[in-house]
Amino acid sequence: MSMERRSFLKKAGVGLAAGAAAGASSAPALAQQAVSGGPTVSWRLASSFPKSLDTLMGAAELIARRVSEATGGKFTIKVFAAGELVPALSVVDAVQNSTVECAHTAGYYFFGKDPTFAFSAAIPFGLNSRQHNAWIYHGGGLALVREFLKDYNIISFQAGNTGAQMGGWFRKEIKTVGDLKGLKMRIGGTGGLVMQALGVVPQQIAGGDIYPALEKGTIDAAEWVGPYDDEKLGFYKIAKNYYYPGWWEGATGFDLFVNLKAWEALPKEYQSILESACAEANVDAQAKYDAVNPGALKKLIANGVKLQSFSPEIMAAAYQASQKVYDDIAKTNAKFKKIYEPWKAFVAEQVQWFQVAENRFDNFMIGAQRAAQRAAKK
């Protein structure tokens, strides 16, 4: 293959995400023509999410659709919802063992294997979604995560983000740290370790199984993502106290975990197309959540949901507990420490920068909107 053609293929693949977002319908046609002589490849994708969660399932489906369109149907990925092939929380094993070629999931679901998994998703009091992308794409995060995942025969691609999440659903009001003691709560990842330090009994439960557990009283509280997904899952029918913010997830990144041997067997142009499709899914999921969450929150409040913020006491106690959890893990886990130390330095720099422009602008806009609403009521 000539150098000129390879250069064209690379540019076509990298341009997919931006071109699709801008409605550039000619990009798939050009890519189809470019890879028309490529091999036929069929993959299976195991998702950690149920079909009802259309934004998260939609990210996996978008990846599959883009890959197929860009290769003229030569490279296809069949998407399976949680439980259809393997249980939601077993997808890493399935990818590692070549049961499936790839999985769409959140890394922190597998912190029980190693808490280092959580960095590609979220850990408490970490980065917001823009900062997380900055760390992954330009702050060395992707290289660190991929180095860790090599031990599991996996290569990762960021493929979705929720933005800052809500703090979850509680049967009773939570005013003090003391109110958390003995509470059985569904909470994923390292957030559960911090909650445990505050007296909570954390439970790791897949998204599709949370409602029955809450309904039966197996758990007293549950967190998932935010208004759009939470309303779909129906938590408000059981627990009316809806807290914010989800300090354990200032942003949650989702990954496409790909079997390393399957990845290496792909032609370079297919690799480029898959990587670009994941980049588009990463942007698209966040954009959709930002678009649909405001309306969903209004519907929840109309259904009697009591929107409440965690008290300063709880936030401060959780922050202190999280720092101790990280320091304790780093003392005994070299893999965690290798990512944690540069990650922590990156967080500090990002917080300093965002307080200068981003935070000042956001706070002004909040004040201006509130003033306009007060004036309109007069």
Q: 285-325 pLDDT, tens per residue? A: 999 999 999 999 999 999 999 999 999 999 999 999 999 99
Distance (Å) of CA 363 to CA 130, 282, 324, 359, 373: 17, 26, 30, 6, 16
pLDDT at 10: 42
- The residue with greater pLDDT, 257 or 20, is 257
| Region 56-78 average pLDDT | 98
Lowest mean pLDDT among 77-81, 188-192, 229-233, 353-357: 188-192
The structure's pTM equals: 0.88
The DSSP symbol for 53 reads: -
**CB–CB of 346/138 below 8 Å?**
no
pLDDT at 232: 94
At 252-281, the pLDDT tens digits run 999 999 999 999 999 999 999 999 999 999
Is the pLDDT score of 201 beyond 90?
A: yes
The answer to whether residue 11 scores a pLDDT higher than 70 is: no
- The Cα 134–Cα 97 span in angstroms is 31
3-state secondary structure of 154: strand
Report which secondary-structure segment, H or E, holds 257.
strand 253-259
* Helix H or strand E segment including 39: none
**Ramachandran region, residue 206 (left: φ > 0; alpha: ψ -120 to 50; beta: rest):** beta
- Which parts of 100-188 fold into alpha helices (H)? 129-138, 141-149
Q: How many other CB atoms sit within 10 Å of the CB of residue 262?
A: 17
pLDDT value of residue 188: 82
pLDDT greater than 60 at residue 20? no
At residue 36, the pLDDT reads 58
Percent above pLDDT 70 for the chain: 90
Asked whether residue 235 carries a pLDDT value surpassing 60, the answer given is yes
Using CA atoms, how far apart are residues 81 and 73, in angstroms rounded to an integer? 22
Tokens 């129906």 correspond to: 234
Specify the range with the lowest mean pLDDT, choosing from 24-33, 204-213, 236-245, 295-304: 24-33
Tell me if 227 sits within 8 A of 307, measured CB to CB.
no
Using left for φ > 0, alpha for ψ between -120 and 50, and beta otherwise, residue 234 falls in left
319 vs 251: CA distance, rounded Å: 16
Contact 179, 172 (CB under 8 A): yes
Quickly tell me which residue has 């949901």 as its tokens: 305
Which run of H or E residues covers position 307? strand 306-309
Q: How far apart are CA 238 and CA 305, in angstroms?
A: 10
pLDDT digit string (tens) for 114-172? 999 999 999 999 999 999 999 999 999 999 999 999 999 999 999 999 999 999 999 99
Contacts of 327 (CB under 8 A, 6+ apart): none
Quote the CA–CA distance of 209 and 222 in Å, as a whole number: 11
pLDDT of residue 14: 43
The Cα–Cα gap between 110 and 88 comes to 11
Q: Is the confidence at residue 27, as pLDDT, over 50?
A: no
> What is the rounded distance in angstroms from the CA atom of residue 75 to the CA atom of residue 275?
13
pLDDT value at residue 35: 55
In whole angstroms, what is the distance from residue 318 CA to residue 49 CA?
28
- Position 289 scores a pLDDT of 98
Where do the domains of the chain lie, and which CATH numbers do they carry? 3-162+251-290 (3.40.190.170)
Q: How confident is the model at residue 246 (pLDDT cuts 50, 70, 90)?
A: very high
DSSP 86: S
How many beta carbons lie within 10 A of that of residue 167, not counting itself? 23
Q: Indicate if the pLDDT at residue 377 is higher than 90.
A: no
